[in-house]
Structure 1
Amino acid sequence: MPHLPHPSPEDLRRDPLPLRGRTALVTGASRRGGIGHAVARRLVAYGASVCLHHHVPHDAAMPWGADRIEDVVASVRAAAGDPEARIVAGPGDLADPAAPAELITTATAALGGRLDILVANHALSGSDGPLDAIDAAMLDAHWAVDTRSVLLLIQAYARQPDRRRGGRVVMMTSGQDIAGGMPGEIAYALQKGALASITRSLATTLAEQGVTVNTVNPGPVDTDYMTGDDYAAIAARFPAGRWGMPDDPARLIAWLATDEADWVTGQVINSEGAFRR
Structure 2
Amino acid sequence: MPQLPQPTAAELRRDPLPLRGRTALVTGASRRGGIGHAVARRLVAYGASVYLHHHVPHDAEMPWGADRPEDVVASVRAAQADPDARVCHGPADLADAAAPAALIAAAAEALGGRLDILVANHARSGRDGTLDEIDADMLDAHWAVDTRSVILLVQAYARLRAGLAPRTPGGRVMMMTSGQDIAGGMPGEIAYGLQKGALASATRSLATSLADLAVTVNTVNPGPVDTDYLTGKEYDAIAALFPAGRWGMPDDPARLIAWLATDEAEWVTGQVVNSEGGVRH
Smaller-chain TM-score range?
over 0.9
1:100 aligns with 2:104: no
Identity of aligned residues (%): 81
Which residue of structure 2 lines up, in the alignment, with residue 9 of structure 1? 9
Write the deviation string for residues 188-233 of structure 1: whole angstroms up to 9, x where unpaired.
Answer: 0000000000000000111111000000000000000000001000
TM-score (norm 2): 0.97
- Structure-to-structure mapping, 1:22-171, within 5 angstroms: 22-160=22-160, 161-162=163-164, 164-171=168-175
Write the deviation string for residues 2-56 of structure 1: whole angstroms up to 9, x where unpaired.
Answer: 6641100111000000000000000000100000000000000000000000000
1:257 aligns with 2:261: yes
Write the deviation string for residues 102-124 of structure 1: whole angstroms up to 9, x where unpaired.
Answer: 00000000000000000000000
Give the RMSD, CA atoms, in angstroms.
1.0
Q: 2: CA distance between counterparts of 1:2 and 1:210?
A: 27
Residue in structure 2 matching 1:244, options 244, 248, 251: 248
Q: 1: CA distance between counterparts of 2:225 and 2:269?
A: 24
Aligned partner letter, 1:140: D
- Are residues 4 and 101 of structure 1, via their aligned partners in 2, closer, same or farther at CA, if it must alter by over 3 Å? farther
Q: 1: CA distance between counterparts of 2:251 and 2:150?
A: 22
Write the deviation string for residues 214-272 of structure 1: whole angstroms up to 9, x where unpaired.
Answer: 00000000000000001000000000000000000000000000000000000000000
- After superposing on structure 2, the runs of 4+ consecutive aligned residues of structure 1 that deviate more than 6 Å are none
Q: 2: CA distance between counterparts of 1:56 and 1:5?
A: 51
Secondary structure of the corresponding residue to residue 52 of structure 2: strand
- Are residues 194 and 47 of structure 1, via their aligned partners in 2, closer, same or farther at CA, if it must alter by over 3 Å? same
Which residue of structure 1 lines up, in the alignment, with residue 222 of structure 2? 218
Confirm or deny: 8 A CA contact 2:52 2:89 kept in the other structure. yes
Listed as ranges, the gaps of 5+ residues in structure 2 are none
Which residue of structure 2 lines up, in the alignment, with residue 198 of structure 1? 202
Q: 1: CA distance between counterparts of 2:200 and 2:214?
A: 20
Write the deviation string for residues 120-163 of structure 1: whole angstroms up to 9, x where unpaired.
Answer: 00000011000000000000000000000000000000001237
Q: 2: CA distance between counterparts of 1:144 and 1:56?
A: 17
Secondary structure of the corresponding residue to residue 208 of structure 1: helix
TM-score (norm 1): 0.99
Residue in structure 2 matching 1:269, options 263, 267, 273: 273
Confirm or deny: 8 A CA contact 2:33 2:250 kept in the other structure. yes
Q: 2: CA distance between counterparts of 1:58 and 1:50?
A: 22
Secondary structure of the corresponding residue to residue 226 of structure 1: coil
**Corresponding pairs, count:** 277
Secondary structure of the corresponding residue to residue 159 of structure 1: helix
